[in-house]
Amino acid sequence: MSPTITIVTVCRNAEATLERAVLSVLNQTYSQVEYVIVDGASTDGTLAILERYRDRIRFVSEADKGVYDAMNKALKLSHGDWLLFLGADDYLVKDTILEEVAGQLKDPDAVYYGDVYYGSEEDRRFGKVSRYTVMCKLISHQATFYPKSSYSQLDYDIRYPVAADRVYNITLFSRGVRFRYLDRVISFFSTSGLSFQVRDRVFLKDRFRLAWKLGPIPFLVFLGYFLYFHTHHFLHLCKVRIKGQ
């Protein structure tokens, strides 16, 4: 039996890019697709776009407490066997991608994730990730299929204004949820989103505690990466200052 895939888009005042994202979902050749859009009470032309496709999507528009609060609302509205978040300024890589992926979603309790084009087709990211590297590498939400057994049980922690999606994956890893890598590009990932404009200071404060949740060895791997990165950065700054004298 073919699994139902829920695509979720949360947005606010996204009229410039939303329709491209919507059409990349509605044009999919795979038929078992549920599309849920949660809008944060937009004041531009976003609602006109949503009304245009009302017969093919489900949407709500109301004030929220930020992007992850909206995503939590979407979790409650979703019924698919698998769920993928697609940003309003992102889009699926091709019309057949969900059909190609559906046949690979065989473990009902595993998270499946692939890669994204990071702003251009020449820049593919982010590759395979494990519990030992998840603190150091990203898994793109725009390329991740969460099973219902996970997304129906775990909400996003809205204390993290930018990195709640990273915390979500770290939490699933710490619970022993299997992550299976799909060696294919799922979507185009815009580099103009919130995560590129604001640092999540709550996440930075909690990163060592989060790393410890993964276990002693992942914690040590992250600690080594942290020390290497900051030492390298410090030496680079010293080199720049010496050259500038």
Instruction: Give the pLDDT confidence of 53-79 residue by residue, as tens digits.
Output: 999 999 999 999 999 999 999 999 999
Q: Which domain holds residue 232?
A: 215-245
Tell me, yes or no, whether 115 and 32 share the same domain: yes
Please write the tens of the pLDDT for every residue from 213-225.
999 999 999 898 8
Tell me, yes or no, whether 160 and 244 share the same domain: no
Number of domains in the chain: 2
> Rounded to whole angstroms, how far apart are CA atoms 223 and 212?
10
Tell me, yes or no, whether 159 and 42 share the same domain: yes
Query: So what's the pLDDT on residue 234?
Result: 41
Residue appearing with tokens 């390329």 = 143
> Rounded to whole angstroms, how far apart are CA atoms 16 and 18?
6
Query: So what's the pLDDT on residue 233?
Result: 46
Please choose, from the candidates 151, 140, 203, the residue with its C-alpha nearest in 3D space to the C-alpha of residue 36: 151
Tell me, yes or no, whether 233 and 162 share the same domain: no
Tell me, yes or no, whether 133 and 225 share the same domain: no
Query: So what's the pLDDT on residue 89?
Result: 94
Tell me, yes or no, whether 75 and 106 share the same domain: yes
> What CATH number does residue 145 fall under?
3.90.550.10
Query: So what's the pLDDT on residue 244?
Result: 52
Query: So what's the pLDDT on residue 236?
Result: 45
**Residue ranges of the chain whose pLDDT lies below 70:** 192-197, 229-230, 232-245
Query: So what's the pLDDT on residue 1?
Result: 75
Tell me, yes or no, whether 222 and 119 share the same domain: no
Tell me, yes or no, whether 65 and 25 share the same domain: yes
Tell me, yes or no, whether 96 and 130 share the same domain: yes
CB 220 within 8 A of CB 211: no
Other CB atoms within 10 Å distance of the CB of residue 232: 10
Going by C-beta distance under 8 Å and a sequence separation of 6 or more, which residues neighbour residue 206?
167
Q: What does the block give as tokens for 45?
A: 């032309």
Segment (H or E) for 185: strand 179-189
Query: So what's the pLDDT on residue 123?
Result: 86
Tell me, yes or no, whether 136 and 67 share the same domain: yes
Tell me, yes or no, whether 176 and 221 share the same domain: no
Query: So what's the pLDDT on residue 191?
Result: 74
Please choose, from the candidates 122, 178, 117, 115, the residue with its C-alpha nearest in 3D space to the C-alpha of residue 150: 178
Going by C-beta distance under 8 Å and a sequence separation of 6 or more, which residues neighbour residue 50?
18, 37, 39, 57, 59, 61
φ and ψ of 189, to 5 deg = -110, 115
Half-sphere exposure of 89 (CA within 13 A, CB side): 13
Tell me, yes or no, whether 244 and 179 share the same domain: no
